[in-house]
Amino acid sequence: MRLVRHLNDYHPQGPVALAIGNFDGVHAGHRAVIAQMLQQASAQRCNGAVLIFEPQPLEYLCPTPPQRLYSLRDKLSCFAALGVDLVFCLKFDRALSSLEPERFVAKLLHERLDACSVTVGSRFNFGYLGRGDYQCLKDNCAVYGIRTLQVTECLWQGERISSSLLRSLLSRGQLEQARELLGAYYSISCRVGHGDGIGRQLGFPTANLIVGRRLRTLRGVFAVLVADEQGRVYEGMANVGVRPSAPHPEHPVTLEVNLFDFQGSLYGAHLQIYFVARLRDERTFAALDELTKQLEHDRSEARALLSRCAGVGNLAGTD
């Protein structure tokens, strides 16, 4: 899969079938859009491409944007697994946000990307102040012979599948329900940084992960599966939160993972953390020996849950 960050680096070799969206979480609704786009690519014998923006438009336009579910790295991994040939990841800035819908279609989709078809979701809008809706897209694309398709809403228990719904499920610790929307366990990729060594002193050494703006709605202790860069999978438990018994002065919200049956150093490595089940809330402990006893109980519970969890053989959910 090819990633294009700057259009000056892209020279069309022929038309592309394009899907446009944020694709934050790459849930079932997003996958339906991508599947429709890939059908168009196959029918028209051209590359299938996804167009996304960094930062996401709401992150640029709103002072308090929604929590991000997936990093760019996570999105790209999903796109590759779904069979996408080409990803355009364009910088969302003042120039792009000020494009009127007509110029967005003419200059970007037609002239620069040579789109032969465009597939979008059920609530798609675009252009300056979001003035362009699907009908506007369809009308403007028709001028250049670009076919447009809009995927209808995907429902889960009668509710529209969306990134907002996914955030809501995660905030309530409903990980199994979130897995139904994603087709896989909710996961994030993170780089391992340096911690303060408290976990190692307690007999539970942890990988301290850099999460940025993600995981704002997840809190508590979780049973997790962890994949390293070589594809090896480990069982473990994770704490997401403020560590009330041992707060970190520089990072108020942390993700720490204790890998079971692991020996060695992980500093600097990228890990994929799959959240399988929520064990409990964070708690404050009066003494470290009380915390140690609780961690021993958490580890036993996590092992039991992970021994019978679903989908271990297909963590990416690409079946």
Q: CA 208 → CA 71, 72, 266, distances in Å?
A: 18, 20, 9
> What percent of the chain clears pLDDT 90, i.e. is strictly above it?
70
Q: Where are the domains of the chain?
A: 2-156, 185-310
User: In the predicted model, is pLDDT for residue 318 greater than 80?
Assistant: no
Q: Which of 57-66, 295-304, 310-319 has the lowest mean pLDDT?
A: 310-319
Which residues lie below 8 Å from residue 124, measured CB to CB, with a gap of 6+?
20, 21, 133, 134, 137, 150
Per-residue model confidence as pLDDT tens digits over 99-139: 999 999 999 999 999 999 999 999 999 999 899 999 999 99
User: In the predicted model, is pLDDT for residue 46 greater than 80?
Assistant: yes
User: In the predicted model, is pLDDT for residue 247 greater than 60?
Assistant: no
Give me the pLDDT at residue 284, please: 85
Mean pLDDT within 38-60: 95
User: In the predicted model, is pLDDT for residue 312 greater than 50?
Assistant: no
Give me the pLDDT at residue 168, please: 94
CATH topology of domain 2-156: Rossmann fold (3.40.50)
How much is the CA Rg of the chain, to the nearest whole Å?
22
Per-residue model confidence as pLDDT tens digits over 170-185: 999 999 999 999 999 9
Class of domain 185-310: mainly beta
